[in-house]
Chain A
Amino acid sequence: MSDKIDISRRAFIGVAGTAIGATAIAANLPSIGAPPQPNKPNIDSNSFTEEALKTDVLVIGSGIAGLFAAVKAHDAGAKVIMVSKGRLGSSGLTPFGKGVFSYDKNNPKMQPEEYLAKVADSAIGTNNPVFTRQLLEHSADRVAELKEWGFFDSPLCNLSFSKPMNERNIPLVERVMMTHLHKENGRVVGASGFSLNENKIINFSAKTIILCTGSGGFKPSGFPMCDLTHDGTIMAYNIGAKITGKEWNDGHPASAKNAGSSYDNWHGQVEEKPSTTTEDIHHDLGVDLNYQAYIKGGPVSMGPPGRNEEKTNSTNKIAGPYTPEAFHKGNSGPPQQPPQESGWRSLFSGGKRPEGPPNMQGESVGGSTAGMAIHKSEGLVPIDETGLSNIPGLWAAGDALGSYMSGGIYTQVGSSMAGSSVQGAIAGEAAAKASKTVDRIVIPKNKLAQTKADILAPLKRETGYSPAWVTQILQSVMIPNFVLYIKKERMMDAALAYVEELKEHHAPMLMASDRHHLRLAHETMNMLITAEMKLKASMMRTESRCSHYRLDFPDIDYKNWQAWINIHKDQNGEMIFEKQPFDKWPAYS
């Protein structure tokens, strides 16, 4: 069979995996013994080789957090390897982040104390001021380095990112999906994954590891994040790391026309060169648009009126999710950025805007980032200001770290790219320093054998479910606006029943015919665990605040909910949820 014939067959399977397609394909199946589908692997799962690589610091992920983590760990004297599911600077959300916040300490528009007070006000206490302050302290230095590397001279950040990596000869392992972290004697000692290029598993032995794996979603449409499936978070969760922030929601819409095209939804801004932003604090991009659609979209008689409805003096008539008064649109507020013709700036400006989202004009549809929380609000729980997790030797930075730099709402435009840079650099230095104080622990052979079996299992199954089909069911359950945007206990419980079914029955039967589908199978498992976390955390948080909106608990509960929710897997494999007071760090394990 030639490659070409193969393509059209696979493309057909992709289309047929939808609900409508499934009916059509069922009609063509033999009458007996049809589901689940037989697996027809076109690569030999027995031909996988294993490669062992050794380093002091392993950086997983090659976005802007990973770049700074690798560079700073190297400069602090450690041997570093970077491994990426994609390519340096062209995977994850980094290629699409065009604004980088830069705080001029010597000549600030806003003094640090005023800035921190205003962020805390917008975030309704959900931000961690230690990480917000880091942004003010270090963002300008990171921006200066990016400038030196040529980051602001081209929209293609692989070019600028390659400069510091090449100058330092930092080894880069691309197109390897990491699936496992290894823990021995209570500390992280390595990681494993498989290559997308060849039949190979790579086992990394490392003294310390920094997860710069970004956040993730349910492969939603209209936002360029379908490669992000919370891989780092789930690997870390599986070895006992604490995870936070799963109840918060990014609420970006997409355009009704070609909702699946992230390029068109963002007006081609990927082609723009990046630039810097300055102090400008908002309370933006939560669930308000989803709420509007929900209330107007049908005969909704139940539910309380929106929390802002009684504020008759306000220019903000939006009902539903609460916005602190100082951040109502139309109130004096901070000076606006000058209006731009297109792109992310127009989100935050009152100027002339092109048609359609993300500028909230034209006809919109929702859920373009479904499954993702607010930048920097979800991921590994830090136990200190360097982004160290509760697992010794394991750090996270950027969107993989639940630093709560902005809290459960967007506060500062450009802060995500800047925050990832700042946190990556700090984690890099800390992980390099720590790597000098520990001896290498060899990963036991039986553990590597088990890892290999886990990785290859979907290829070895004779029958099972396709990752695309399971993902489509998951999307149908999790993306509608009445599940995670406008939350209600009963509906989330119903969704959870689906998710648990998929996780317990279908995940163990996910199959793969090649390395691409093997990747999809592992991504799908990560998405299923994320969905369970999001539903359970959302049910636990019996209040509404920032981007978390409960129709059945519409008020902020200052008495019981001045707390984040941390999630971990206990010794019996149970998913455990705990409150973490806003002003406390969790304990080291």
Chain B
Amino acid sequence: MPINEIAGCIGCNTCVETCPTDVIQMDKEHKKAYIAYPEDCQICHLCRLYCPVDAISITPEKSIPVVVSWR
């Protein structure tokens, strides 16, 4: 998982707005952010840095295989 947990969300919507690749959505009913499209996470950590209550945890592994030019 890239972005793998949002725990203690206060529903401020900052991470939803901040994510450059639109990975996070707001569950309007429960007023909690959730990880909607983990496969599109570029693991840049902007959501975590902007989160006012430090609710987001991220691991460095991509959830889908990555194509590289050589290895």
Contact = CB atoms under 8 A, between A and B. Distances in A.
B34 A14 contact: no
A294 B29 CA distance: 53
A274 B59 CA distance: 25
Interface in A3-58: 3-4, 7, 10-11, 14-15, 17-18, 20
B9 interface: no
A585 to B, nearest CB: 34
Given A158-B50, A261-B43, A481 B69 contact: yes
Given A11-B39, A224-B42, A366 B64 contact: no
Contacts of B58: 263
Nearest to B38: A11
Contacts of A270: 44-46, 49
Interface in B46-71: 46, 49-50, 58, 60-71
Interface in A236-293: 254, 256, 258-264, 268, 270-271, 290, 293
A480 interface: yes
Interface residues of B, number: 37
B39 A260 contact: no
Contacts of A366: 68-71
B63 A15 contact: yes
Interface in B1-58: 2, 17-22, 25, 27, 29, 34-40, 42-46, 49-50, 58
Nearest to A370: B69
Contact of A485 (B37, B44, B45, B69): B69
Given A14-B37, A14-B38, A468-B39, A3 B25 contact: yes
B49 A479 contact: no
B69 A224 contact: no
B34 A481 contact: no
A20 B29 CA distance: 37
A471 to B, nearest CB: 10
A455 B35 CA distance: 25
A254 B42 contact: no
A513 to B, nearest CB: 11
A485 B70 CA distance: 11
B68 A262 contact: no
A10 B20 contact: no
A516 B39 CA distance: 12
Contacts of B71: 256, 259, 364-366
B34 A4 contact: yes
28 contacts: A4-B34, A7-B35, A11-B63, A14-B63, A17-B64, A86-B19, A87-B17, A87-B18, A175-B17, A196-B22, A222-B68, A224-B20, A224-B44, A225-B42, A226-B42, A254-B68, A258-B62, A259-B62, A262-B42, A270-B46, A290-B70, A293-B70, A365-B68, A365-B69, A366-B69, A368-B68, A468-B39, A516-B36
